[in-house]
Copies of this chain bind each other. A is one copy, B any other.
Amino acid sequence: MITYISTIKVTYSDTDQMGYVHHNNYVKYYETARWELFEQLGIPYKAVEEKGFMLPVTRMDLKFIKPAYYDELLTIETTLHKISGAKIFFRYKLFNEAGTLVNKAEVTLAFINSATRQPCLAPEFIWQKIHGKGLENKASVN
């Protein structure tokens, strides 16, 4: 497991007329958070695409516990939980400034070969960066 803490500031366009952060934005916050974790590992997602791989989301399961509001500085705890076969699993907890758990989520993505648009094993350059971090290297592609 690899855990990364990031923050995100709620912008005005993230709100809806209930005065809450519209629920679709959490999906964007989590996407940004996982690529910040990748960046931290030395694997910018931009480089992943340049090397011929893409990681579309295959499942996302979000639980909304409390609303979030305009201008709040939210803290996201992102955990890279597992890589198994062609899939990579993230777990999230999102807290507001008072430290209250606002949202939690599980998001799964697939490794896709951009040329064939078919699922593939996690590429070797990714395994190299997470080696020794408690995620067992089951299989990879070059």
Contacts and interface: CB of A to CB of B under 8 A. Distances in A.
Contacts of A19: 17
Interface stretch (A58-66, A92-100, A124-132, A134-142): A58-66
Copies of this chain, complex-wide, total: 4
A23 B62 CA distance: 13
A31 B11 contact: yes
A87 to B, nearest CB: 12
Interface in A42-86: 44-46, 49, 54, 56-64, 67, 70-71
A41 interface: no
B64 A61 contact: no
Interface of A: 9, 11-13, 15-20, 22-25, 27-28, 31-32, 35, 44-46, 49, 54, 56-64, 67, 70-71
9 contacts: A17-B17, A18-B54, A24-B24, A24-B31, A35-B71, A46-B71, A56-B64, A58-B64, A60-B60
